[in-house]
Chain A
Amino acid sequence: MANNNNAPITGDYVTINIGPSHPAMHGTLRVVCKTDGETIVEAIPEIGYLHRGVEKLGENLTYHQFIPITDRLNYCSAIANNVAYEKAVEKLLGIEIPDKAKLIRVIMKELARIADHQVCVGILGVDLGAFTPFFYLIIQREEIYDIFEWYNGARLTNTFGRIGGVNADLPEIFHTKWPKLKDTIRKANDETDKLLTHNRIWMDRTIGVNPFSPEDALEYGFTGPCLRATGVKRDLRKDEPYYFYDKFDFEVPVGKHGDVFDRYYVRLMEMEQSIRIIDQAYAMYKELPPDAPLMAKVPKIIKPPEGEIYSAIESPNGELGFFIKSDGTDKPYRIKIRPPCYMVYQAFPELVKGEMIADTIACLSSLNIIAGELDR
């Protein structure tokens, strides 16, 4: 906490290596901590343990072949990555996808957002010792994954959509499942809320723990729930709307102090908003004729004109951007991914300085650092 910062620091430190294999390290992160007792004097994150050369792979694959690679960025919400990439390529090609495809993408992406937030909130609970909410949430996530599975067979790495639209209509199971599922998701969130939010221990552990000011957050390039937790109302779905997001009625929940509690609560609130968005998108979807096209006219071999674009969407973790430079061939000249985690993780040493070891773990889970997205 803040008062620890002023404490005189006396020479002898113990270096503790947290990760890359550690129960609380999501994926393979590594933090080398210099500690004074339990207080962290300095935390040096070391990244790259999950580096798979995703961007380089992009240069050697055709535009379509790269879609499955994007699954492996933020594996908690693969669909958001797919959509972000496809949207970037479509922008490069200058094509507009059919309304129905847009709506299906919105529905699936918001489902992925709910799944992602459920994992994040659940794991935060586990890391702070509250095991039970995790199961309430994860059971609902499995239900969401059932819908994904019925869509195209994959639960985790979905490879959703194609460049120019989507390959299939919403699965039949969605129509029967969604009305019930949204209630159970709400119930699970409600139970989590009851177990955690006003629990004295939970409040002590999260409120005021590594707070972050909006100025600092913007300077570090925070996006997504971590930025909104500091009080900045920035959401690409509202600020730079795409795919009918300007037509949906939803709110952007914001926090105040940017501490662990705000990050947790913003995520919990966003799930509710996602349910609202899906409901509205589904209503719009039902108004469309059943034989409406799913794909825009796209050539078999995609050869975008020479040029470069940047396109971003609001992924569950924040702004997920793709910069693509094309040299006119069937393979991109360069793909640069802007993952939200990377910018957030930069602030990690700053955030945990002077905190205790237990808070480091809470901080890391609440930031929702996903190694796949961070290291690429």
Chain B
Amino acid sequence: MDNWVIALIKVVFIWTWTLLIATLMTWVERRGSAMMQDRLGPNRAGPFGLFQPLADGIKLFTKEDIIPEKAHKILFSLGPILFALPAFSAYAVIPFGDKLIVNGKEIILQVADVNVGFLYVVALGAMAVYGIVLGGWGSNNKYSILGGLRSTAQLISYEVPFGLSLLAVVLVYGTFSLREISLVQQGTFLGFLPNWGIFKQPLGFILFIVTAYAEANRVPFDLPEAESEIVAGYHTEYGSMRLGLYLFGEYVNMYTLAALMVTLYFGAWHLPYIDMSKFLGPVSYGIASFLVFFLKTAFFLWLFVWVRWTVPRFRYDQVMGLGWKALIPLALVNLFITALCIQLTV
């Protein structure tokens, strides 16, 4: 019974937390871009415009919900749901801290420590394609179809190097469980480096971050929603909260991917050279691990924003070329080298 309550609390916590982060990210994105572009950004609602996301949310909820006359009603309504739902669910297997000991009971800071955590994340990432394609198709708009097609080609192509770079990580750690991977990243590697994934998989990390940007539809891979070319692509026809779900899902995706980067390559909740559990109490250690993990994730979230406002967009054929001609061969080479190294050292 107790376990159920704890599980429920964790689910509710991570749900609201993800929502909060995604909401805040819209603010960070706007203020961050404004900072880079010598503007002010939203600064009217609340201190530093912090309530702006709230105002936007209210606006999106209260807007008239329009379904275009010629649209496919079912697919049109299904699209945003299929996009947002996997995005929200994907975080379940990713840890958000180490553990919390309350009244002698150990609580793992992760909704579900699944032994196929990896596959779960990849599978849910692949689900997002359906949301975009169905939305684009159901809108019955040429631009939307183009956006949908672009995203199908892009997401499916980038799934391959994404999966391959993850596979190399699995080879290194010998497990699919994200919690176990996090746990072994404690201590040092080769005596002087933190025992982090990035030092064992440098090429793998580069591949992962590039494909993650493509999976999240972020600049420079935001072709499915290129506003200057195909007028927001798959969500041209969407308005009100349906559009909100798409936009929101994107930020949730970003959060999941950033957390995944931290978990796999940046030592999850571990600080380099310092073992926090040695000198912190059980509760404060739990909170500290959560904070460390979150700060690292926040950096990668900021990186998403940073890159978005710095580089231009690829062209469709260039994205395909990069995916098939550069990333997939590199991912295979990386996998091969990793396998070879492990074979030689074991």
Contacts and interface: CB of A to CB of B under 8 A. Distances in A.
Interface of A: 14, 16-17, 22-24, 38, 125-132, 134-136, 139, 195-196, 199, 201-202, 204-205, 356-359, 361
Contacts of A135: 37-39
B240 to A, nearest CB: 21
Contacts of B312: 125, 128-130, 196, 199, 201-202, 205
Interface of A, secondary structure class, is: helix
Contact of A131 (B33, B229, B314, B315): B33
Interface string B307-324: 001111111111000000
A125 to B, nearest CB: 7
Given A131-B33, A202-B311, A357-B146, 17 more contacts: A24-B229, A38-B317, A127-B228, A128-B228, A129-B222, A129-B226, A129-B313, A132-B36, A134-B37, A135-B37, A136-B37, A201-B311, A201-B312, A201-B318, A202-B312, A205-B315, A357-B229
A132 B310 contact: yes
Interface of B: 33, 36-39, 142-143, 146, 150, 219-220, 222-223, 226-231, 309-318
Nearest to A365: B228
Contacts of A358: 223, 226, 229, 313, 315-316
Contacts of B313: 128-130, 201, 205, 358
B142 A16 contact: yes
Given A139-B38, A358-B229, A204 B318 contact: yes
Contacts of B229: 24, 127, 357-358, 361
A38 B228 CA distance: 15
A125 B228 CA distance: 10
Nearest to A206: B312
Contact of A357 (B37, B219, B230, B314): B230
A136 B313 CA distance: 19
Contacts of B33: 131-132
A205 B313 CA distance: 8
Contacts of A128: 228, 312-313
A199 B311 contact: yes
A202 B229 CA distance: 16
Contacts of B223: 358
A127 B231 CA distance: 11
Contact of B228 (A17, A23, A199): A23
Most-contacted residue by chain A among B222, B309, B311 (CB, 10 A) = B311
A359 B315 CA distance: 8
A285 B146 CA distance: 56
Nearest to A360: B229
A130 B313 CA distance: 7
B146 A23 contact: no
B29 to A, nearest CB: 12
26 contacts: A14-B142, A23-B231, A38-B150, A38-B316, A38-B317, A126-B228, A128-B228, A129-B222, A129-B228, A129-B313, A130-B313, A131-B33, A132-B309, A132-B310, A135-B38, A136-B37, A196-B312, A199-B311, A201-B312, A201-B313, A204-B315, A357-B146, A358-B226, A358-B313, A361-B228, A361-B229
B210 to A, nearest CB: 12
Contacts of B318: 201, 204-205
A131 B37 contact: yes
A24 B39 CA distance: 22
Q: Which of B220, B222, B229, B311 has the most CB of A within 10 A?
A: B229
A129 B316 CA distance: 13
Contact of A129 (B37, B142, B220): B220
Given A22-B231, A130-B312, A201-B311, A38 B220 contact: no
A127 B315 CA distance: 12
A296 B76 CA distance: 68
Contacts of B228: 23-24, 126-129, 361
Contacts of A359: 315
A357 B316 CA distance: 9
Nearest to B311: A201
B316 to A, nearest CB: 5
A359 B228 CA distance: 11
A21 to B, nearest CB: 9
Given A126-B228, A127-B228, A358-B226, A205 B309 contact: no
Contacts of A204: 314-315, 318
A130 B142 contact: no
A351 B291 CA distance: 55
